[in-house]
């Protein structure tokens, strides 16, 4: 974890957890992330939405397993050694927040994002649904796309 020493003081800085889906890097706000774990066994749910194929048991709680690859229009793949599941909180406009278990191909580090460094998504260039995304930021020589988790899981 590469956290800058003076991060606590600056409100325009926000911590994000970077993850990989295929070749692309995405990031989720750290304060929404409850834990990161190895993929647990999945119980398939019949007639479920294609991006939420099943249920998992995380320390006694049953959470929906969400395949972010599918949500982003990629083909689902089998788990690899680097696959991880992120338990994240999803807030809603109406109703209580709920937790989901998001499957990702790999989890990397926590980065600090300065709000002013975030660029808007280019209108045409994006293959992904615009409403899921909160902007893009450069990290080293890669682009990291910021996710709006509550939008990702708002009913399609």
Of 79, 39, 94, the C-alpha closest to 63 is 39
Residues facing residue 104 across a β-bridge = 84
Q: Alpha-carbon distance 127 to 108, whole Å?
A: 23
Asked if 130 interacts with other proteins (CB under 8 A), we say no
95 or 122: CB nearest other proteins: 95
Residues facing residue 99 across a β-bridge = 89
Of 12-20, 27-35, 57-65, 142-150, which segment contacts other proteins by CB under 8 A? 57-65
Residues facing residue 126 across a β-bridge = none
11 or 46: CB nearest other proteins: 46
- Residue of the chain from 57, 82, 91, 126 that contacts other proteins (CB under 8 A): 57
Q: Alpha-carbon distance 17 to 131, whole Å?
A: 19
Rounded to 5 degrees, what are φ and ψ at 154? -70, 145
Q: Within positions 67 to 106, which residues make up the interface with other proteins, using CB under 8 A?
A: 92, 95, 98-100
- Residue of the chain from 3, 22, 35, 61 that contacts other proteins (CB under 8 A): 61
Which residues of the shown chain bind other proteins in the complex (CB under 8 A)?
41, 43-49, 52, 55-57, 60-64, 66, 92, 95, 98-100, 153, 155
């Amino acid at each position: 974890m590469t956290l800058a020493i003076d991060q606590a003081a600056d409100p325009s800085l926000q911590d994000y957890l970077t993850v990989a889906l295929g070749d692309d890097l995405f990031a989720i706000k750290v304060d929404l992330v409850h834990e990161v774990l190895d993929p647990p066994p999945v119980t398939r749910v019949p007639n479920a939405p294609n991006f939420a194929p099943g249920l998992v048991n995380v320390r006694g709680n049953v959470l929906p397993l969400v395949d972010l690859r599918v949500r982003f229009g990629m083909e689902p793949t089998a788990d690899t050694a680097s696959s991880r599941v992120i338990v994240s909180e999803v807030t809603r406009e109406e109703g209580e927040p709920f937790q989901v278990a998001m499957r990702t191909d790999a989890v990397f580090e926590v980065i600090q994002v300065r709000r002013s460094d975030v660029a808007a998504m280019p209108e045409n260039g994006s293959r992904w649904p615009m409403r899921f995304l909160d902007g893009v930021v450069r990290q080293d020589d890669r682009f990291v796309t910021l996710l709006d988790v509550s939008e990702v899981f708002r009913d399609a």
